[in-house]
Amino acid sequence: KQEVTQIPAALSVPEGENLVLNCSFTDSAIYNLQWFRQDPGKGLTSLLLIQSSQREQTSGRLNASLDKSSGRSTLYIAASQPGDSATYLCAVRGGGGGSNYKLTFGKGTLLTVNP
Amino acid sequence: EPEVTQTPSHQVTQMGQEVILRCVPISNHLYFYWYRQILGQKVEFLVSFYNNEISEKSEIFDDQFSVERPDGSNFTLKIRSTKLEDSAMYFCASSERGTSGGPPSTDTQYFGPGTRLTVL
């Protein structure tokens, strides 16, 4: 069974700081990994998807890396802003034996960026 | 930018009643999904649907649940006899493809805003 863990559970930083969110998964036989943002009481906004054959993806101030063999991904946020405050979720597709379509989610990292 | 839409945004029902949650996936997408998130817990996969049939389902998706694509635009989740523990936020998602290896945008699962289901 695929398990996804995110560390830390919560993070509070001053505006302008660069930060790293961590995600680990137990089964490396994944198809891809997605990072999402969730605002309180809202839906999930996809930020980045990394295919299993890729090492990293970039979108604006966000950079996600993937080390499939060690079961790890990081999301790097540069020059954080108060508007980045949200819960960041990591999800993997595949792994856990026979799973093709479902995303398995971590519990998320609650990020607070203080002005 | 195309979005997944869901209705209603909030549904309140009595235990034992049937509910239907509705979703309109992104128009050129072929793969559809339902997930749920119980308050304070992880987002959990329920079911995936392709070519008018279920392609994968979780152990949560028992006989009380069913999905349907009644026409070319809607995708629905029916819960036949709701229980208190069905109270959760239900998310619909869609993707252009279901297999991986293409451009990230085609494999990305895009989520709707959710329907909050409250069972009393």
- Contacts with B91 from chain A: Cβ below 8 Å: 43-44
Cα separation, A54 vs A77, in Å, equals 19
Under the banding of pLDDT at 50, 70 and 90, the label for residue B79 is: very high
Residue B35 CB-density burial (10 A; 0-12 exposed, 13-18 middle, 19+ buried): buried
Test the B interface: residue of A23, A48, A88, A102 with most B CBs within 10 Å: A102
pLDDT at position A95, please?
77
According to DSSP, residue B104 is labeled H
Under the banding of pLDDT at 50, 70 and 90, the label for residue A2 is: very high
At residue B84, what is the residue type? L
Query: Are A104 and B45 an interchain contact pair (Cβ–Cβ within 8 Å)?
Result: yes
Inter-residue contact B82 to B16 (CB < 8 Å): yes
Give the residue-averaged pLDDT of A23-51.
93
| Of the candidate ranges B80-84, B104-108, B111-115, the one whose mean pLDDT is the lowest | B104-108
Question: Higher confidence at residue A93 or residue B1?
Answer: A93
**A2 CA to chain B: closest CA distance, Å?**
12
Residue A100 has pLDDT above 90, yes or no: no
What is the SS3 assignment for chain A?
A: CCCEEEECCEEEEECCCCEEEEEEECCCCEEEEEEEEECCCCCEEEEEEEECCCCEEEECCEEEEEECCCCEEEEEECCCCHHHCEEEEEEEEECCCCCCCCEEECCCEEEEEEC
Give the residues across from B77 on adjacent strands: B21, B67
* Mean predicted lDDT score pLDDT of chain B: 92
* Mean predicted lDDT score pLDDT of chain A: 94
